[in-house]
Amino acid sequence: MLISVAVPVPGLDLLTYAVPEGMATPAIGARVVVPLGTRVVTGIVIERGVRPLSAQVEVKPLRQVLDDGAFVPEEVVALARWTAEYYAAGVGDTIPALLPPMARGGRADAHKTTRMAAITAAGLEAIGAAVVRGKQREALELLAGAPSGMATSALSARGIAADAISRLAKHGYISLRNDRVDRDPFAVSDSRQPGGRPGSDPGQARVRPESDTRPLTAEQTAAVARLRALAETGAFHVALLHGVTGSGKTEIYLRLAADVRARGRRVLMLVPEIALTPAMASVFRDAFGDRVAIQHSGLSDGERHDQWQRIRRGEIDIVVGTRSAVFAPIERVGLIVVDEEHDGSYKQEESPRYNGRDVAIVRGQRAGALVVLGSATPSMESYHNAVTGRYERVVLERRVLDRPLAAVTVVDMREEYAAEGPDVILSRALRDGIRARLTRGEQALVLLNRRGFATAVFCRQCAGTLDCPNCSVSLVVHGDGHSRRARCHYCNYTARVPTVCPLCAGPYLEQAGFGTERVEAEVAAACPGARVARLDRDAIRRRGSLTALLSKFRDGEIDVLVGTQMIAKGHDFPRVTLVGVVSADIGLGLADFRASERTFQLLTQVAGRAGRGEQLGEAIVQTLYPGHYSIQLACRQDYPAFYER
Binding residues for ligand ADP, rule: CB under 6 A, are 214, 216-217, 220, 243, 245-251, 400-401, 572, 612
480/482 Cα distance (integer angstroms): 6
* Cβ-based nearer residue to ligand ADP, 245 or 382: 245
* Cβ-based nearer residue to ligand ADP, 286 or 412: 286
194/209 Cα distance (integer angstroms): 26
Query: Are 227 and 373 spatial neighbours (Cβ–Cβ below 8 Å)?
Result: no
Q: Does 488 bind Zn ion (CB under 5 A)?
A: yes
Residue 617, SS3?
A: coil
Q: Which stretch binds Zn ion (CB under 5 A): 157-165, 406-414, 422-430, 485-493?
A: 485-493
Query: Are 45 and 29 spatial neighbours (Cβ–Cβ below 8 Å)?
Result: yes
* Cβ-based nearer residue to ligand ADP, 345 or 622: 345
Q: How many CB atoms lie within 10 A of CB 260?
A: 24
Q: How many CB atoms lie within 10 A of CB 57?
A: 8
Residue 490 interacts, among Zn ion, ligand ADP, none and using kind-specific CB cut-offs from 5 to 8 Å, with: Zn ion
Query: CB burial class (10 A; 0-12, 13-18, 19+) of residue 404?
Result: exposed
Q: Which stretch binds Zn ion (CB under 5 A): 92-100, 323-331, 406-414, 480-488?
A: 480-488
The CB-of-354 to ligand ADP minimum distance in angstroms stands at: 25
* Cβ-based nearer residue to Zn ion, 177 or 366: 177
Residue 493 interacts, among Zn ion, ligand ADP, none and using kind-specific CB cut-offs from 5 to 8 Å, with: Zn ion
514/190 Cα distance (integer angstroms): 50
Which DSSP symbol is given to 590?
S
Q: Which stretch binds Zn ion (CB under 5 A): 128-136, 238-246, 331-339, 469-477?
A: 469-477
* Cβ-based nearer residue to ligand ADP, 273 or 522: 273
The CB-of-620 to ligand ADP minimum distance in angstroms stands at: 21
* Cβ-based nearer residue to ligand ADP, 168 or 276: 276
Q: Which stretch binds Zn ion (CB under 5 A): 316-324, 470-478, 517-525, 550-558?
A: 470-478
189/99 Cα distance (integer angstroms): 11
The CB-of-505 to ligand ADP minimum distance in angstroms stands at: 55
* Cβ-based nearer residue to ligand ADP, 247 or 345: 247
Q: At how many degrees (to 10) do helices 356-367 and 74-86 cross?
A: 130
Q: Which stretch binds Zn ion (CB under 5 A): 10-18, 131-139, 298-306, 487-495?
A: 487-495
Q: Does 550 bind Zn ion (CB under 5 A)?
A: no
In DSSP notation, 462-504 reads T--B-B-TTT-SBPEEESSGGG-EEE-TTT--EEEPPSS-TTT
The CB-of-113 to Zn ion minimum distance in angstroms stands at: 18
Query: Cα torsion at 341, 344, 349, 355 (round to 10°)?
Result: 20
Q: Does 468 bind Zn ion (CB under 5 A)?
A: yes
Q: Which stretch binds Zn ion (CB under 5 A): 159-167, 235-243, 465-473, 617-625?
A: 465-473
The CB-of-372 to ligand ADP minimum distance in angstroms stands at: 12
383/292 Cα distance (integer angstroms): 30
Query: What residue type is assigned to position 309 of the chain?
Result: Q
Residue 488 interacts, among ligand ADP, Zn ion, none and using kind-specific CB cut-offs from 5 to 8 Å, with: Zn ion
CA distances to 55, 136, 593, 602, 628 from 598, rounded to whole Å, are 54, 40, 9, 6, 13
The CB-of-574 to ligand ADP minimum distance in angstroms stands at: 6
Relative to beta strand 174-181, strand 39-48 is unpaired
Contact with Zn ion (CB under 5 A) among 260, 471, 582, 619: 471
Contact with Zn ion (CB under 5 A) among 309, 455, 470, 601: 470
Residue 588, SS3?
A: helix
DSSP element (H, E) containing 375? strand 370-375
The CB-of-334 to ligand ADP minimum distance in angstroms stands at: 21
Phi and psi angles of residue 495, each rounded to the nearest 5 degrees, phi first: -150, 160
* Cβ-based nearer residue to Zn ion, 383 or 493: 493
The CB-of-556 to ligand ADP minimum distance in angstroms stands at: 16
Residue 220 interacts, among ligand ADP, Zn ion, none and using kind-specific CB cut-offs from 5 to 8 Å, with: ligand ADP
Query: What residue type is assigned to position 155 of the chain?
Result: L
Strand partners, 407: 618
The CB-of-392 to ligand ADP minimum distance in angstroms stands at: 18
Q: Does 82 bind Zn ion (CB under 5 A)?
A: no
The CB-of-389 to ligand ADP minimum distance in angstroms stands at: 24
Report the half-sphere exposure of 187 (CA within 13 A, side-chain side). 17
Which DSSP symbol is given to 377?
S
Contact with Zn ion (CB under 5 A) among 9, 27, 216, 491: 491
Q: Does 493 bind Zn ion (CB under 5 A)?
A: yes
Phi and psi angles of residue 565, each rounded to the nearest 5 degrees, phi first: -55, -15
393/173 Cα distance (integer angstroms): 50
Size of the chain, expressed as the number of residues it contains = 645
CA distances to 270, 271, 292, 575, 604 from 277, rounded to whole Å, are 9, 7, 12, 21, 21
Query: Are 608 and 406 spatial neighbours (Cβ–Cβ below 8 Å)?
Result: yes
Positive or negative: CA dihedral 464, 466, 468, 472? negative
Q: Which stretch binds Zn ion (CB under 5 A): 92-100, 226-234, 359-367, 466-474?
A: 466-474
* Cβ-based nearer residue to Zn ion, 79 or 488: 488
The CB-of-321 to ligand ADP minimum distance in angstroms stands at: 18
Residue window 299-338: x/- pattern of binding to Zn ion, with contact defined by CB under 5 A: ----------------------------------------
Which DSSP symbol is given to 73?
-
* Cβ-based nearer residue to ligand ADP, 248 or 587: 248
The CB-of-224 to ligand ADP minimum distance in angstroms stands at: 10
Residue 120 interacts, among ligand ADP, Zn ion, none and using kind-specific CB cut-offs from 5 to 8 Å, with: none
The CB-of-279 to ligand ADP minimum distance in angstroms stands at: 9
Residue 572 interacts, among ligand ADP, Zn ion, none and using kind-specific CB cut-offs from 5 to 8 Å, with: ligand ADP
Residue 417 interacts, among Zn ion, ligand ADP, none and using kind-specific CB cut-offs from 5 to 8 Å, with: none
* Cβ-based nearer residue to ligand ADP, 253 or 354: 253
The side-by-side arrangement of strands in the sheet containing 618-623 is 407-412, 618-623, 576-581, 443-447, 560-563, 532-535
The CB-of-539 to Zn ion minimum distance in angstroms stands at: 21
Q: Does 86 bind Zn ion (CB under 5 A)?
A: no
* Cβ-based nearer residue to ligand ADP, 75 or 251: 251
Which parts of this chain interact with Zn ion (CB under 5 A)?
A: 468, 470-471, 488, 490-491, 493
